């Protein structure tokens, strides 16, 4: 009689993000309802949906940037309200350009991403050989290594978007959360951005990408989550989505229109915030 095989004690990797029956909104009004979602290490997830479907509200809810009105959220196995290792989450907000009201070089903006690693005795961020090396590496990854000293106002919209990605990368995050990284960017720059994200994916970076331009990211996306009316209506492989999307009513193309601005919300301590070089004011619901 053959001896029974021992049961493997190897457990699955801890999910990067776990959401269980969560709802998010503004001023106690839910926009996203009863969402359950798990993001595993190494996944590249495209979050799709029409304007107003709740995509951006969901992403901000995961990051503690709006009100959680029910359910549970865990980051790296830790309840979101107790999570303190914020550099592990890199956030690229939905913005078309960096502010032109503040003069800054590309390297100075990327250096802001090093703030979580700054020691109290360091008078300025971005100084020292190690800091310079990190900043230069991030700029090389996004294809802007030769523009470190350039004034950011001289860059195109697509190049500025890459600067924001480099800034998020500078904290050495385990996941990049990006809200419409290709929005308002011409086709040529979309292809460049797709190349940047492809290199990050090849290096094992987990990504959650809110997007309307699925086609631009088709080669790197490993999973698609689609939303409609504040709920998830599809969660699966890209091939399965291609077969199911006709019956889902999900709009992939187009950009955010002038929708109702989100009211100001209290943030959880340490949650990502707009940097000093970003445009101020509310962002639009998506």
What percent of the chain has a predicted confidence (pLDDT) above 90? Answer: 41
Q: Write down the pLDDT at residue 222.
A: 95
pTM of the model: 0.80
pLDDT digits (tens, 9 = 90+) for 108-152: 999 988 876 665 445 555 456 778 888 999 999 888 999 999 999
pLDDT digits (tens, 9 = 90+) for 165-175: 999 988 889 99
Q: What is the 3-state secondary structure (H, E, C) of the chain?
A: CCCCCCCCCCCCCCCCEEEEEEEEEECCEEEEEEEEEEECCCCEEEEEECCCCCHHHHHHHHHCCCEEEEEEEEECCEEHHHCCCHHHEEEECCCCCCCCCCCCEHHHHHHHCCHHHCCCCCCCCCCCHHHHHHHHHHHHHCCCHHHCCCEHHHCCHHHHHHHHHHHHHCCCCCEEEEECCCCCCCHHHHHHHHHHHHHHHHCCCEEEEECCCHHHHCCCCCEEEEEECCEEEEEECHHHHHHHHHHCCCCCCCCCCCCCECCCCCCCCCCCCCCCCCCCCCCECC
- For the ranges 61-75, 94-108, 150-164, 208-222, the lowest mean pLDDT is seen at 94-108
What does CATH list as the number for 17-205+214-247?
3.40.50.300
Predicted confidence band of residue 245 (pLDDT cuts 50, 70, 90) = confident
What percent of the chain has a predicted confidence (pLDDT) above 70? Answer: 75
Q: Write down the pLDDT at residue 172.
A: 87
Q: Write down the pLDDT at residue 114.
A: 82
pLDDT digits (tens, 9 = 90+) for 184-198: 777 888 888 888 889
pLDDT digits (tens, 9 = 90+) for 12-37: 789 999 999 999 999 889 999 999 99
pLDDT digits (tens, 9 = 90+) for 211-220: 887 888 888 9
Q: Mean pLDDT, to the nearest integer, of 59-68?
A: 92
Q: Write down the pLDDT at residue 281.
A: 41
- For the ranges 80-84, 90-94, 273-277, the lowest mean pLDDT is seen at 273-277
- For the ranges 70-84, 155-169, 220-234, 248-262, the lowest mean pLDDT is seen at 248-262
Predicted confidence band of residue 271 (pLDDT cuts 50, 70, 90) = low
1 has a pLDDT exceeding 50: no
Q: Write down the pLDDT at residue 275.
A: 47
């Amino acid at each position: 009689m053959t001896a029974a095989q021992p049961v493997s004690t190897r457990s699955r990797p801890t999910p990067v993000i776990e959401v269980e029956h969560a709802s998010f909104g503004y001023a106690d009004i839910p926009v996203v309802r009863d969402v359950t979602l798990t993001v595993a290490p190494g996944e590249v997830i495209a979050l799709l949906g029409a304007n107003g479907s709740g995509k951006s509200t969901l992403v901000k809810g995961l990051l503690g940037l709006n009100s959680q009105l029910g359910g549970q959220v865990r980051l790296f196995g830790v309840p979101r309200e107790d999570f303190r290792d914020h550099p592990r989450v890199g956030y690229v907000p939905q913005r078309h350009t960096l502010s032109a009201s503040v003069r800054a070089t590309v390297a100075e903006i990327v250096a802001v991403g090093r703030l979580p690693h700054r020691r109290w005795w360091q008078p300025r961020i971005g100084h020292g050989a190690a800091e310079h090396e990190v900043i230069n590496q991030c700029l090389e990854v996004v294809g802007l290594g030769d523009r470190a000293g350039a004034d950011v106002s001289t860059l195109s919209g697509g190049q500025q978007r890459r600067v924001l990605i480099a800034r998020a990368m500078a904290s050495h995050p385990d996941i990049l959360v990006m809200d419409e990284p290709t929005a308002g960017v011409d086709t040529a720059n979309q292809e460049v951005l797709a190349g940047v994200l492809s290199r990050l994916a090849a290096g094992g970076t987990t990504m959650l990408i809110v997007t309307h331009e699925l086609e631009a990211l088709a080669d790197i996306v490993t999973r698609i989550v689609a939303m409609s009316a504040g709920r998830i209506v599809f969660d699966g492989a890209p091939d399965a989505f291609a077969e199911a999307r006709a019956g889902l009513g999900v709009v992939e193309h187009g950009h955010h229109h002038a929708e109702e601005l989100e009211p100001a919300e209290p943030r959880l301590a340490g949650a990502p915030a707009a940097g000093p070089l970003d445009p101020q004011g509310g962002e639009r619901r998506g």
